[in-house]
């Protein structure tokens, strides 16, 4: 018989999942999803299933499948997590203001200027 994890255990597992998600790197920006602010929600239910709600920097991002798979693998890598469900949302839409300090400090302070021949 398997005993369901208590609230404290579920919170510890959710914290461990969040820590594991730092290993998932956005291929375009080269930063982890946590510091980019792309992870909106992490919880673990009484069946030890991790539930993650995330976004991407833009709708239609070609890396969404890659990122979802990375999030699922990172959650399942946590000892005690038996399943992982990952949902993608664009509400609210991601903005650079959602980045935490480590990623924000590496963000360019101004938009790059592009040469236009016209």
Examine residue 111 and say whether the peptide bond preceding it is cis (omega within 30 degrees of 0). no
The mean per-residue pLDDT over the stretch 13-22 comes to: 97
Kindly indicate the confidence band of residue 118, based on its pLDDT and cuts at 50, 70 and 90: very low
Distance set, CA 43 to CA 72, 106, 108 (Å): 13, 29, 33
Distance CA 8, CA 12 (A): 6
CATH class (in words) of the domain with range 7-94: alpha beta
Distance CA 22, CA 94 (A): 18
Kindly indicate the confidence band of residue 5, based on its pLDDT and cuts at 50, 70 and 90: confident
3 has pLDDT over 90? no
| pLDDT of amino acid 107 | 53
pLDDT in tens, 50-84: 999 999 999 999 999 999 999 999 999 999 999 99
pLDDT in tens, 80-112: 999 999 999 999 999 988 988 766 555 554 444
Tokens of 115: 């040469």
| pLDDT of amino acid 100 | 85
The mean per-residue pLDDT over the stretch 19-46 comes to: 95
């Amino acid at each position: 018989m398997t005993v369901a994890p208590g609230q404290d255990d579920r919170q510890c597992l959710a914290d461990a999942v969040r820590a594991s998600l730092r290993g998932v790197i956005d291929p375009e920006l080269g930063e982890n999803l946590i510091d980019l602010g792309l992870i909106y929600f992490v919880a673990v239910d009484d069946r030890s299933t991790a539930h993650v709600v995330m976004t991407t920097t833009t709708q239609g991002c070609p890396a969404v499948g890659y990122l979802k798979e990375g999030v699922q693998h990172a959650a399942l890598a946590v000892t005690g997590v038996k399943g992982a469900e990952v949902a993608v949302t664009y509400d609210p839409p991601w903005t650079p203001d959602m980045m935490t300090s480590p990623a924000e400090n590496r963000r360019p302070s101004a938009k790059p200027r592009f040469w236009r021949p016209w």
